[in-house]
Every structure is written in structure tokens, then in C-alpha cells.
Structure 1
Amino acid sequence: MTTADAVRRRLGLGRLLPLGGAADGAWLAEQAADVVLRRVAAEVPGVAPGRLRLALADPEAAARPAVPPPPSALPPGPLRIEADFAAVAWEPLPATASELRAALFTAAAQLLDLRVAEVDLRVTDVLDAAPETLDDAPPPGVRAADPKDPAGTAASGAAGVAHLTATLGAAVHLAPDHVRVEVATASGHHPLEVVRAVREAVTAALADGRPVSVLVTAVGM
């Protein structure tokens, strides 16, 4: 992979969002969250989702992570979702917005294990026809990686792991003072449960006391 390719794939992940609390040592790619939240938003009657972004709700109140974070990752703290959407003309807009806000809050908590404090919505258009259904194309830039060492083999066999990924470099980054593992989760498994299973498996495989952080780059639905 060329340097340009690596940069494009890294930028395609979006922000690296804190998953769980400071002690969890876990992050979720914004792109992975976008896929899930956009699909949920599209299921709200009369809604066509547009631009969606996630950021820290209060950056000054963010905590220090317990393990070294991935490059440019956001520190642990509650998030804010900013979402644009178009809505059909024949449904009351306040009711549609309320349903969309509730759907995004619920999906973030129950499907992604993200702590969301705020959902800010903006109407960008009024539709004269029902919106088209979103396709289920996989997110670009996230490719499966084969395990190449004991840590990778342990991580790939952990409960809920669909496969390893290698977007930031190698699927397993072994530093002198920590280990970072990239994974995609399988359908039906909560990201935090998978993270904890990966951490336990890698810690046991290495048996050297290095802390383990986990980056989830794709979430199975």
C-alpha cells in the first residue's frame, strides 16, 4: 500500500470515537457508527438521512484514557450527534424530528455502546415523495486482515470478532508499552462485549502485562 492509499483509508474512518469509559481502552471508527445510525435513521417513516457527524459533547470534560489511544483518537467522554435530514411534507415535522432523535439515541446506546448526551437535528429539505431505501453496501476502505502473530490469532478467535482489519497499519500494533488491535464485529454482538473479549484473549496470549487497546472499524448488523 502506498502512503497516499494509507492516508485515504485512515481519513475514511472519520473520527475515532471513545467506546465505553476511560477504563475500556476502546474506540469506534466514525464511519462504522455512521453506517449503523444512517440505516436506523432511514427506517424512520418519511426521513431521508443526510450528513451525520459525531463529536465530543464537552471536550473540556473528557477523561484521560487508561491505555495509549490510537493516533488522533478522541478522549473518553459523552458524544453529540449532529444529523441533517430531509422529511416528507405530509407528516408533522416536530413529530418526525422527535422520532428520529429517539431512534438515534437508542441505536447509539443499544447497537453501538456509545454514550451520547445530545442529538442535534437540522432539516435540509421537504420531500414531495417518499425517500428511497438505502442500499446495504459495505463501508469502503475496511478490509479483512489475516492474523500474523499470536496476538492476532487470539484476537481473531475472540467471541464476536468477524475478522481483523488493518486500516491504521498492521491489524495488531505491538509497541513496547502497549498493544493495539483492529477488529470488525460480527452481527448480533455488542461492540464493548467484543472489545473485552479481544482484550482478554490478547492479554492471555502475550502474557507480558502490556495494556491492550481495541479499535472497532466495522460493526455487523
Structure 2
Amino acid sequence: MTTSHSPQQADGWTAAVRQRLGLGRLLPLGGPADGAWIAERAAASVLRSAAAGPGAVLGRLRIGAADPDGPGRDTAGAGPETDAPPPGSHASPSHEAPPAPPSALASGPLRIEAEFSASADRPLPDTARTLRAALLSAASARLGLVVGEVDLRVTALLEDGAPDRVSVPADEVRAATADGAAADAAAGVPGVVALTRELGSAVHTGADHLRVEVATAGDHRALDVARAVRTAVAAAVEGHPPVAVLVTAVVARD
């Protein structure tokens, strides 16, 4: 049996695939019972902003699951350390853990891989240590990611007079209109800039859970906002179902 699709349908499907791939991996926030995830694109924008200091220009950056058998390491010269989980990453006692979004990474330590260009007038190990500390601090304090490994690689030296910092573009927000008790409750949580619709609707109703998509403010820790959204939505919906939260963007505020 064959089926035919109009050009409009094909274009819509292609756009949806590109939109989903643009989010990158869906990374766990906090611990297994926190029921929160963040798009790699959103997390990377925060990390890039934190790393935008003198002495280095961050290039390719990826975030994925850490090697369970490998210690944290820094190939650019900052020695391995054991990174403690961020504050507040314990399981939330309020609600049952919901299912993860489609293709999301399982809860567990993450690995940051980044390439950077470094200024030739600074010792490379010092630059690497500063960059590594900035990435780890932002991952924990601004997002709530549990990072077990950071792998940095120097790819070039900055020439004299070359800029050693770059501007970081703000996350784009594909906002959705709040409609219904769950959406209204999520939209009213401090730190929620907007509801979003990257994976479909802002509120996805599953057989036994809800999933809510939000963009959070850069001056609020993403994990804390996600926890508050879970609590507010579960309280507002009849039956108090498990609630998953996906942060698709982190928006800087002037």
C-alpha cells in the first residue's frame, strides 16, 4: 500500500524534524525523581555565556551521558576532580517520578565536551582550569545539571589583537498560549518566561502523566523552576498526576 503526501504535509514534517533536532539531547535535571529535563541547546547557551570571559573562546560544545567507568578528566591540563551533585539535586518528595520525554537521556551524571581557542599569553593549564570551573559552576548553580566529567581540548591559539570573547545569542522561544488548568498553573510559576511547544503542545497529556514545556528565566535556576512547575501543575489538575517538565530555552534578562 502506498500513501501520498502533499508538499505542505512534507514541508511540515521536515520542519518538525528540524525543530526537534535543533533542541539537541534532552538532558536530565537533578536526580531520578525530579522529573525534569532540559534541551541541550538551552543548557549550552547558559554554559557558553558563563565561559565568555577573557583568555578563551569556546568552540564546539556537547553535553551527554558520562562514561560510567571513566573518571572526570580535562585533556587540556586541568586535572581530574570528583564533582559533587549540585545543591538540591535530591529527589522531590512531593510527586511520583513521571516517564521521561521521548528519547531523553536517563538520569545520571553528564559529560561536557568542549573545544576552545586560547590566548597565547596565558599558560594553557591555567586557562583550562578557569574555563572548567566556569562550566561546572554554571551547570550546577544556574541549571541543576549533575556533571561527572569535563573534557576540554585546545584547538587553536588566539593571535595578538584577536578578540578573546564572543557574544552569546539568546535562546529563541517558540511560545505557546496558556490554555487549561495545567498551563495556567505552569505559566504562573516565578521564573517561567513562557510555555513552549517544541515537541507538540505546551501540555502533553499521557495515559498516566502530564508533560509541560517551559522557557525559564536566566536569573532563576532551571531545576528549581521545574520543581515548582511540577508542584503547581500537579496541585491544579484533578487526580494530581505525575508531571514531567521540559525546559526548552533559558532566556537572559537585562
Tell me the TM-score normalized by structure 1: 0.92
Q: Note the C-alpha offset of 1:207.
A: 2.3
Match among 30, 38, 51 for residue 41 of structure 1: 51
Question: Please, which moves more after superposition, 171-180 or 186-195?
Answer: 186-195
Q: State the SS of the aligned residue for 1:70.
A: coil
Q: State the SS of the aligned residue for 1:87.
A: strand
Distance 1:131 1:32 in 2: 25
Q: Which residue of 2 aligns with 1:5?
A: 15
Q: Note the C-alpha offset of 1:51.
A: 0.3
The verdict on how the C-alpha distance between 1:132 and 1:47 changes in structure 2, with shifts beyond 3 A counting, is: closer
Match among 54, 64, 67 for residue 55 of structure 1: 64
Alignment map for 1:197-216 (pairs within 5 Å)? 197-216=228-247
* CA deviation profile, 1:77-136 (whole Å, cap 9, x unmatched): 011100000011111111111111111111111111111111100011111134254334
Gapped regions of structure 1 (runs ≥ 5)? none
Q: Which residue of 2 aligns with 1:14?
A: 24
Q: Note the C-alpha offset of 1:154.
A: 1.0
**1:46 and 1:131 in contact (8 A); partners too:** no
Q: Which residue of 1 aligns with 2:128?
A: 97
Distance 2:168 2:59 in 1: 16
Alignment map for 1:68-217 (pairs within 5 Å)? 68-128=99-159, 129-131=161-163, 133-140=165-172, 142-217=173-248
**Amino acid in the other structure paired with 1:46:** G
Tell me the TM-score normalized by structure 2: 0.80
The verdict on how the C-alpha distance between 1:73 and 1:59 changes in structure 2, with shifts beyond 3 A counting, is: farther
**1:87 and 1:126 in contact (8 A); partners too:** yes
Runs of 4 or more consecutive aligned structure 1 residues displaced over 4 Å after TM superposition: none
* CA deviation profile, 1:34-65 (whole Å, cap 9, x unmatched): 1111111121x2101000001111369xxxx9
Q: State the SS of the aligned residue for 1:216.
A: strand
**Amino acid in the other structure paired with 1:52:** L
**Residues 1:31 and 2:64 are matched in the alignment:** no
Distance 1:97 1:4 in 2: 40
Distance 1:118 1:131 in 2: 28
Distance 1:35 1:195 in 2: 18
Gapped regions of structure 2 (runs ≥ 5)? 1-10, 70-95
- Identity rate, percent: 58
